[in-house]
Amino acid sequence: MNALPAAAHIPRPARRRVLTGLAGALWLAGLTQLTACGSLGGWGGPFPTLSEARLNELLARRFPYTRGFAGLAELSLLSPRVHLLPETNRLGTQLELALLERVTGARYSGAMDLDYGLRFDPLDGSLHMQDVRVHRLDIDQLPRAQQKLLSQFAPRVAEHLLNDMVLYRVPAEQLARARSLGLEVSGLRVLPQGLQVETRAAALR
């Protein structure tokens, strides 16, 4: 007489628990393989890679950005142009600016170059500027003395104004899809082809 398979000797409830545990382990192993690929962009995942062109399109919606200073002056930032900095995991941006002196009515134009890191807020799916660094801020037609004063203090003021500014909000349906797959955002990575939202298996609570 042939021996019964070993599984036949396992009580049915215990066998069900074993099979359920095995299925869960296989699912988790598959999920780990997928999340190792980053944002699952090639697997139809919830967060597609944002190309440089798409980032420029999204950022343009946040500008012009205008800020007043005690009723004395008004600064407007406009026409942002984004470029990727994958070697430092940051984004670079050039901006045009316009300065209006309220007292005299004088208007000045100029430009600013900066770069920054990115921070993701899981509560509302927003991407923020972080650690903003201004490398150049010029305003045309200013007298030399004012231009010197501007170069000393204006970059720090601009960094303070722009730090933590929201660049983009991930659509709610993408966040919901990630949660349904048992994923959470683990970081943001700037690649040569675009900005990738990286994911990992959500921590069990």
Q: What is the pLDDT along the chain (205 residues), one digit of tens a residue?
A: 544 444 445 555 554 544 444 433 333 333 333 333 333 333 335 688 999 999 999 889 888 988 888 888 898 999 999 999 999 999 999 999 998 888 889 899 999 999 999 999 988 889 999 999 999 988 888 777 777 777 778 888 889 888 999 988 888 888 888 888 888 888 899 999 999 988 888 875 5
Is residue 30 a part of any domain in this protein?
no
SS3 72: coil
- Supply the pLDDT for residue 46: 66
- Supply the pLDDT for residue 154: 82
- Supply the pLDDT for residue 199: 85
Is residue 146 a part of any domain in this protein?
yes
Is residue 25 a part of any domain in this protein?
no
Domain that holds residue 112: 63-167
Is residue 31 a part of any domain in this protein?
no
CATH number of 77's domain: 3.15.10.40
How many domains does the structure of the chain reveal? Answer: 1
Is residue 46 a part of any domain in this protein?
no
Phi/psi at 167 (nearest 5 deg)?
-95, -30
Q: Judge whether 130 and 119 are in contact, CB under 8 Å.
A: yes
- Supply the pLDDT for residue 11: 57
- Supply the pLDDT for residue 186: 85
Q: Rounded to an integer, what distance in angstroms lies between the CA atom of residue 186 and that of residue 24?
A: 22
Environment class of residue 110 by beta-carbon count within 10 Å: exposed (0-12), middle (13-18) or buried (19+)?
buried
Is residue 125 a part of any domain in this protein?
yes
- Supply the pLDDT for residue 205: 53
Is residue 109 a part of any domain in this protein?
yes
- Supply the pLDDT for residue 84: 98
- Supply the pLDDT for residue 12: 57
Taking the whole predicted model, whether its pTM rises above 0.85 is answered as no
Is residue 159 a part of any domain in this protein?
yes
